[in-house]
Amino acid sequence: MRMYDLIMKKRNGGTLTKEELRFMISHYTDGHIPDYQMSAMMMAIFFRGMNEEETLQLTMAMAESGDMLDLSDINGIKVDKHSTGGVGDKTSLALTPMVAACGIPVAKMSGRGLGHTGGTIDKLESFPGFSTSISTEQFKRQVNEIGLAIMGQTKDLAPADKKLYALRDVTATVDNISLIASSIMSKKLASGADAIVLDVKTGSGAFMKKETDSFALAKEMVKIGNGAGRKTCAVISDMDQPLGNAVGNIIEVREAIDTLMGKGPDDFVELCLTLGAEMVVAGKKASDSDAAKEMLLQKIKTGEALNKLACFVKAQGGDPRYVYEPDRFRYANITDTVFSQNEGWVSHIDCDEIGICSLLLGGGRETKESEIDLSVGLYLHKKVGDHVNPKEPVVTFYASDEKKLNAAKERFQHAFHISESKPASSKLIKGIIYE
């Protein structure tokens, strides 16, 4: 088999077989196929596309290019959750203890990632002492003992995807739905869960800006997951404004804790219940999503979900007192609140721009080497559709540097819009895909 022939086949609109895709991925991972040939192949796929079977086989080949985590010694149906990411997305922090409190074993691998704020791992490191650098043995033992563990992605998780994603990033071949779906799902399949619930974001702060693209991506990922024998569904959720009110790291952790204390913002609570219900049903702890939502709400009311978070933080070396006394968390020392000048309704919040405000404050990573300031962030007092009176607070910034604060404030002015009329309401949950 020669890579040259495979490139030609795809360039001419042919269909690659399982053997050809496996040859391509294994020889690319071990360095025998050079980047220039793989770039040509990615561009051929970009223009010619892949059918369902090709997409599944490419995903399986990438998933199997490194370690496939075996979670069979954890009792019960293991359910994983993945979000395509967005501004203020602290969902895993609240959702995983809620679901674990319902008796679903949650064994989750998370990343740091680049972006407006840190990833789940960075946010968890807001708890002093917390570590996600745990062995696979501790990871599995902890899930069996307390029902929840989160570890950093191992180096050998889908290495083919790591190499290929870096290549796509510099060859203008990222934004192809089949390639994105296989990239994300290869890591999920290698992470070993029996069932997967995906949160596919849509809107100005999402990777996929258009709803039709988000649905198409969701469908491809669900087909891959189910095709690989893992029960998979996808919730398509709004990211046209930040999720909840808090954007940053420590500030998002606090909002997640508030949520587990029964004081969460409506949109965030709705998303956690929707995703949580799918996880609880997939884990066979409830027969339908209404019963599952009721169960999840009970776990908040009784404090079991909050206790689960404390137990999890403690098991991974963190200080559980921060869970029960979140005032222990320290924000950056400059606090600045912006007040509204006019009366009106919040008509639009440019979500991506709000993310950039957080980045400007130092709350996110521009390159893999950037340091994150966990203590900075912003709190939106008003969301789209809210009424605003003159002199009411609109946003509070937490900054550690005046210059960075001013840059974020300047950017915010162009991102937050108040109009005289109430905007049409828009749904948080756009749909759920099961097949």
Q: Which two tokens stand for residue 225?
A: 């997951």
Instruction: Output 43 or 349, the one with its CB closest to ligand URA.
Output: 43
DSSP structure string for 55-77: HHHHHHHHHTTS-----TTS-S-
Q: Under a CB-based contact definition with an 8 Å cutoff, are residues 98 and 197 in contact?
A: no
Q: Under a CB-based contact definition with an 8 Å cutoff, are residues 205 and 239 in contact?
A: yes
In the complex, least distance from residue 201 CB atom to ligand URA, rounded to whole angstroms: 11
Query: Which of 226-264 are b and which e, b meaning 16 or more Cβ less than 10 Å from the residue's Cβ?
Result: bbbebbbbbbbbbbbbbbbbbbbbbbbbbbbbbbbeeeb
In the complex, least distance from residue 153 CB atom to ligand URA, rounded to whole angstroms: 11
Q: Position 208: which residue type?
A: M
Ranked by CB distance to ligand URA, the top (closest) residue is 183
Instruction: Output 139 or 207, the one with its CB closest to ligand URA.
Output: 207
Please list the active-site residues. Answer: 82, 161, 168, 183, 187
Close Cβ partners of 180 (under 8 Å, ≥ 6 residues apart): 174, 207, 217
Q: What are phi and psi of 21, to 5 degrees?
A: -65, -40
In the complex, least distance from residue 29 CB atom to ligand URA, rounded to whole angstroms: 16
**Alpha-carbon span 169 to 175, nearest angstrom:** 9
Torsion (CA) 220, 221, 225, 226 in degrees, nearest 10? -40
In the complex, least distance from residue 184 CB atom to ligand URA, rounded to whole angstroms: 5
How do 195-202 and 79-83 pair as beta strands? Answer: parallel
Binding site for ligand URA (CB under 6 A): 165, 174, 179-180, 183-184, 207
Q: Under a CB-based contact definition with an 8 Å cutoff, are residues 120 and 111 in contact?
A: yes
In the complex, least distance from residue 55 CB atom to ligand URA, rounded to whole angstroms: 12
In the complex, least distance from residue 84 CB atom to ligand URA, rounded to whole angstroms: 7
Instruction: Output 177 or 395, the one with its CB closest to ligand URA.
Output: 177
Distances (CA, A) of 115 to 27, 86, 105: 31, 9, 29
Instruction: Output 165 or 412, the one with its CB closest to ligand URA.
Output: 165
Instruction: Output 203 or 318, the one with its CB closest to ligand URA.
Output: 203
DSSP structure string for 251-271: HHHHHHHHHHTT---HHHHHH
Instruction: Output 174 or 228, the one with its CB closest to ligand URA.
Output: 174
